[in-house]
Amino acid sequence: MELSLFPRDAFAELERLHKIDCGDALDQLVQDYDSKSQALDADISVRRTTWDAELKARERAEKEYDENLKKQRQRETEEYEYKKTIDRKKAQERYDEAQRHHRRSASDGDAS
């Protein structure tokens, strides 16, 4: 038994040998393909939506992180400047006190 290379003959041979209705089988294959294609499209859409939501959430988190980091650095800068100002005032007060003490000592030495 030799199968022909022509589709009609092949379909007829399949129908005769296997009791398969090739037209119905082909219709079923097309329906299965359409069904799987729609399911895949739906899955892709869901995944794309999920990915977009995750992307936006990540962007928000990065923006929030950057803003918090900027605020933290600004606070650190302000604290540094404040401490530097306080330290300078204390150093100036110590210097002024030392100068007053030195002048008193010098004036006390002149009076003797």
Does residue 6 or residue 103 have the better pLDDT?
A: 103
CA distance 70 to 52: 27
Task: Specify the pLDDT at position 3.
Answer: 47
Does the pTM of the predicted model rise above 0.85? no
Query: Region 79-106: what's the mean pLDDT?
Result: 94
The set of residues, in sequence order, having a beta carbon less than 8 Å from that of 13 and lying 6+ positions away, is 3, 4
Domain ranges in the chain are 7-81
